[in-house]
């Protein structure tokens, strides 16, 4: 990379390069930050999110781990207890099944179990979401992690947010699950509809604050991660028909910014929560309920949710499209709501 | 050893007096390991212990009043009553524990990596039992520690029972220590009821790890005199069996025997030591029982940084 870049150049950066830049800037700033994970060193990560970092910071700080997730997830816990700030990459969110023990019994609970005397600055960075890889390589799982008290769950969409939230995560003293979306990791800055430009210098985006990424007056659509892009596409498609959609990018599941969503829904009178994670016992019900508790149960004309209907993600494209909310499915749901009242 | 046993005995008393309302795992019968560790441990070393952690914490220098107060669920406890007996955390002494069998080793691995890259000359001790030595976490941690020659000691307290399942019935090897070869580690096996042997051998293990020669599997065989937890019906062994273990393998009695035989002490002096430690711990328990329980209105506090007061 040259020292001076115009914004136009930066828009051609793949999203993983932006993430690597964020991690690199934080590692320069704070020598206690180190990264562990499979294929993150020599290969620079299967998506390239740590590319170049091992050359810059050495093998002790950018460690290629064996396929031993329980071992190195727990290693992250020990590193944090020893005063370091580990970033532990679990390649795909689905693989967390083999090391969840260290995440939910150790990292998540230790700050509380110690009466606040043992901080746990650790980032579990992982990639979730659907890119056609079927049931064991497509899950989002933020609802599962959010159900377990003690973890903060971040799932950004825009390049700007990826960079700023990664920096904020690495500076935070709490354990954070940072869930990237595989489909977004395959994009360049210019492919994004919202906030495609991430400045080259270090900055943070506060964890726990949602953003209204498109203003509208008829329906509030709250979602996060790649679905924000689908929602913006659907909203654009409907604007020609005179349906005005406000899109809220939640950016994190824990903390969940109910206030921003409720404030928007109170204005539009309708709330649609769209979630690429599973429907039941998840984000869509939780957010809907919190908004209603805040506004009163008769405050809104309509509350709907759209999520993966409790089925493993199928392999066949036709089946996948039938269960994972994409732009068309979202547009249809919005249409129905607009007609409904 | 006498002090450690007296500590666990007042824990039993606290349980009877309902100051502890959950599971309690005491180490009575395994004192030689706790005491044997103490000499070779430095403040900067880390110990990550198990559900049966009291002796390891005392060996690591955890304040006994704060420790007992935590076990008795008091606001003044090591963790303000949020952790309890299975989850003590003492960052100043690099001491922690986990209630999940085998999960201590990966955490010790993290300490070991931090110690090595910071070149601090400290050693991380991950404690587990024979049961924990069969977990994937144990294997994964040993693979990584062995490959990077990290300063880590896996201390296996082999009390021959994973709750009810005898070690000999489920282990593919006669000892855990002999598995060290697979990880380019040093394997040491010691009679864990002989405090002198434990102390010498554990010191050698720590020296090996401290001097950069890689990890150690340090296995100390011992006997758990009481149930896996207080209230364990122990249907897997008879009363006679248990009595036999107490008669033959009590590390305190064995050591007292040695002292008497060598003429270093006499009956009266040994009795006085025991009585003195008992009295001290009884007084400690009384002080702890007078301490306040946590305030229910603060039950949600200390999850996240935003909820920290001090």
Rounded Cα distance, B176 and B194, in Å:
19
Domains in chain A: boundaries: 7-191, 211-340
Q: Which residues contact A181 (CB under 8 A, 6 or more apart)?
A: A127, A128, A129, A140, A155, A157, A225, A226, A276
Which residues of chain B are within 8 Å of residue A114 when distances are taken between CB atoms?
A: 78-79, 82-83, 87, 89, 91, 302
Q: How do residues B26-40 score in pLDDT, each as one tens digit? A: 999 999 999 999 999
Q: Phi and psi for A240 in degrees, rounded to 5?
A: -65, -25
At B309 the pLDDT is: 67
pLDDT tier at A338 (50, 70, 90 boundaries)?
Answer: confident
- Tell me what percent of the residues of chain B surpass a pLDDT of 90: 98
Of B82, B110, B117, the CB nearest to A112: B82
| Residue A3 confidence (pLDDT) above 60 | no
Q: How do residues B129-148 score in pLDDT, each as one tens digit? A: 999 999 999 999 999 999 99
CATH number of A211-340: 3.40.50.920
Q: Is B14 on the interface with A (CB under 8 A)?
A: no
Its ipTM equals: 0.93
Of B106, B147, B308, the CB nearest to A102: B106
Q: What is the DSSP string of A103-146?
A: IIIIITTHHHHTTT-S----EEEEEES-SS--TTS----HHHHH
Q: Does the domain formed by B29-62+83-259 have CATH 3.40.50.970?
A: yes
Q: Is B100 on the interface with A (CB under 8 A)?
A: yes
At B310 the pLDDT is: 53
Domains in chain B: boundaries: 29-62+83-259
Min CA distance, A263 vs chain B (Å)?
Answer: 23
The answer to whether the CB atoms of B79 and A113 lie below 8 A apart is yes
Mean predicted confidence (pLDDT) in B47-71: 98
Q: Is A150 on the interface with B (CB under 8 A)?
A: yes
Which pair of tokens denotes residue A333?
């749901």
At A340 the pLDDT is: 72
Q: What is the DSSP string of A212-226?
A: EEE--SSEEEEE-TH
| Element spanning A155, H or E | none
| Residue B222 confidence (pLDDT) above 70 | yes
pLDDT tier at A2 (50, 70, 90 boundaries)?
Answer: very low
Q: Is B87 on the interface with A (CB under 8 A)?
A: yes
Fold identical between A7-191 and A211-340?
Answer: yes
| Residue A1 confidence (pLDDT) above 50 | no
Residues 273-302 of chain B with CB under 8 A from chain A are 301-302
Of B143, B302, B304, the CB nearest to A115: B302
pLDDT tier at B308 (50, 70, 90 boundaries)?
Answer: confident
Q: Answer yes or no: A194 catalytic.
A: no
At A110 the pLDDT is: 98
Q: Is-contact B40 B206, C-beta < 8 A? A: yes
Cα–Cα separations (whole angstroms), residue B132 to A66, A154, B141, B236: 21, 33, 12, 19
Mean predicted confidence (pLDDT) in B6-12: 98
3-state secondary structure chain B: CHHHHHHHHHHHHHHHCCCCCCCCCCCCCCHHHHHHHHCCCCCCCEEEECCCCHHHHHHHCCCHHHHHHHHCCCCCCCCCCCCCCCCCEEHHHCEEECCCCCCHHHHHHHHHHHHHHCCCCCCEEEEEECCHHHCHHHHHHHHHHHHCCCCEEEEEEECCEECCEEHHHHCCCCCCHHHHHHHCCEEEEEECCCHHHHHHHHHHHHHHHHCCCCCEEEEEECCCCCCCCCCCCCCCCCHHHHHHHHHHHCHHHHHHHHHHHCCCCCHHHHHHHHHHHHHHHHHHHHHHHCCCCCCHHHCCCCCCHHHCCC
Mean predicted confidence (pLDDT) in A234-242: 95
Q: Single out the catalytic residue among A137, A162, A181, A230.
A: A137
Residues 118-137 of chain B with CB under 8 A from chain A are 124, 136-137
At A339 the pLDDT is: 82
Residue where the block lists tokens 């498109």: A214
Which pair of tokens denotes residue A78?
């020990």
Report the mean per-residue pLDDT for chain B. 96
- Tell me what percent of the residues of chain A surpass a pLDDT of 90: 96
| Residue B246 confidence (pLDDT) above 60 | yes
Cα–Cα separations (whole angstroms), residue B73 to A10, A222, B49, B125, B256: 55, 42, 19, 26, 34
| Residue A72 confidence (pLDDT) above 60 | yes
Q: How do residues B261-288 score in pLDDT, each as one tens digit? A: 999 999 999 999 999 999 999 999 999 9
Which residues of chain A are within 8 Å of residue B117 when distances are taken between CB atoms?
A: 34, 60-61
Q: How do residues B76-91 score in pLDDT, each as one tens digit? A: 999 999 999 999 999 9
At A5 the pLDDT is: 61
The answer to whether the CB atoms of B89 and A149 lie below 8 A apart is no
Which residues of chain B are within 8 Å of residue A150 when distances are taken between CB atoms?
A: 303-304
The answer to whether the CB atoms of B98 and A106 lie below 8 A apart is yes
Report the mean per-residue pLDDT for chain A. 96
Mean predicted confidence (pLDDT) in A3-18: 83
Min CA distance, B110 vs chain A (Å)?
Answer: 4
CATH number of A7-191: 3.40.50.970
| Residue B259 confidence (pLDDT) above 90 | yes
Among A34, A61, A75, the strongest candidate for a mutation testing the B interface, having the largest count of B CBs within 10 A, is A75
| Residue A321 confidence (pLDDT) above 70 | yes
Rounded Cα distance, A73 and A151, in Å:
14
Q: Is B78 on the interface with A (CB under 8 A)?
A: yes
Which pair of tokens denotes residue B51?
């559900």
Mean predicted confidence (pLDDT) in A144-154: 97
The answer to whether the CB atoms of B115 and A82 lie below 8 A apart is yes
Q: How do residues A210-236 score in pLDDT, each as one tens digit? A: 999 999 999 999 999 999 999 999 999
């Amino acid at each position: 990379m040259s020292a001076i870049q115009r914004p136009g150049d930066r828009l051609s950066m793949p999203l993983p390069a932006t993430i690597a830049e964020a991690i690199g800037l934080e590692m320069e700033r704070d020598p206690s930050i180190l990264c562990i994970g499979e294929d993150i060193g020599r290969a620079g990560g299967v998506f390239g999110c740590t590319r170049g970092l091992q050359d810059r910071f050495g093998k002790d700080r950018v460690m290629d781990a064996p396929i031993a997730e329980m071992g190195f997830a727990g290693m992250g816990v020990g590193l944090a207890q020893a005063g370091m700030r580990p970033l532990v990459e679990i390649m795909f969110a689905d693989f967390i099944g083999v090391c969840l023990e260290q995440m939910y019994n150790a990292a998540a609970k230790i700050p509380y179990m110690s009466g606040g005397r043992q901080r746990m600055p650790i980032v579990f960075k992982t990639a979730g979401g659907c890119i056609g890889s079927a049931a064991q390589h497509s899950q989002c799982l933020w609802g599962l992690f959010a159900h377990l008290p003690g973890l903060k769950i971040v799932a950004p969409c825009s390049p700007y947010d990826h960079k700023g939230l990664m920096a904020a995560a690495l500076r935070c003293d709490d354990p954070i699950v940072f869930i990237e979306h595989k489909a977004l990791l395959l994009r360049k800055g210019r492919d994004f509809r919202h906030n495609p430009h991430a400045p080259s210098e270090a900055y943070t985006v506060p964890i726990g604050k949602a953003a209204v990424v498109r203003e509208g007056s008829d329906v509030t659509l709250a979602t996060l991660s790649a679905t924000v892009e689908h929602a913006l596409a659907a909203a654009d498609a409907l604007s020609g028909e005179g349906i005005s959609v406000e899109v809220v990018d939640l950016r994190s599941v824990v903390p969940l910014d109910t206030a921003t969503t409720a404030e928007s829904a109170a204005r539009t009178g309708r709330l649609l929560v769209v979630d690429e994670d599973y429907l039941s016992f998840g984000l869509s019900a939780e957010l809907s309920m919190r908004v209603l508790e805040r506004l009163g149960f008769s405050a809104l004309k309509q509350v709907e949710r759209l999520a993966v209907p409790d089925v493993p993600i199928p392999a066949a494209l036709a089946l996948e499209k039938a269960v994972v909310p994409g732009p068309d499915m979202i547009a249809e749901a919005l249409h129905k709501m607009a007609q409904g009242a | 050893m006498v002090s450690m046993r007296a500590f666990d005995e007042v824990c039993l008393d606290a349980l009877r007096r309902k100051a502890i309302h959950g599971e309690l795992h005491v180490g009575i019968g395994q004192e030689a390991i706790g005491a044997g560790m103490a000499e070779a441990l430095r403040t900067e070393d880390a110990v990550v212990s198990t559900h049966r952690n009291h002796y390891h914490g005392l060996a690591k220098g955890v304040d006994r009043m704060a420790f007992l107060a935590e076990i008795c669920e008091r606001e003044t406890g090591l963790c303000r009553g949020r952790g309890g007996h299975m989850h003590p955390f003492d960052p100043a002494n690099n001491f922690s524990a986990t209630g999940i069998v085998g999960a201590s080793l990966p955490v010790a691995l993290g300490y070991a990596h931090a110690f090595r890259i910071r070149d601090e000359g400290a050693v991380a001790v991950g404690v587990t039992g024979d049961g924990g030595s069969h977990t994937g976490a144990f294997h994964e941690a040993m693979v990584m520690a062995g490959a990077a020659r990290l300063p880590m000691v896996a201390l296996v307290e082999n009390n021959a029972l994973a709750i009810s399942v005898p070690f000999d019935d489920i282990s593919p090897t006669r000892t855990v220590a002999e598995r060290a070869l697979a990880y380019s580690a040093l394997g040491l096996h010691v009679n864990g009821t002989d405090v002198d042997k434990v102390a010498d051998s554990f010191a050698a293990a720590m020296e090996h790890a401290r001097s950069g020669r890689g990890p150690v599997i340090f296995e100390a065989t011992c006997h758990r005199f009481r149930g896996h937890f207080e209230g364990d019906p122990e249907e897997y062994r008879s009363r006679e069996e248990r009595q036999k273990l107490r008669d033959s393998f009590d590390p305190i009695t064995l050591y007292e025997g040695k002292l008497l035989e060598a003429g270093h002490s006499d009956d009266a002096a040994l009795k006085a030591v025991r009585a003195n430690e008992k009295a001290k711990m009884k007084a400690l328990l009384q002080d702890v029982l007078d301490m306040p329980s946590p305030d229910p209105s603060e039950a949600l506090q200390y999850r996240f940084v935003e909820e920290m007061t001090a």
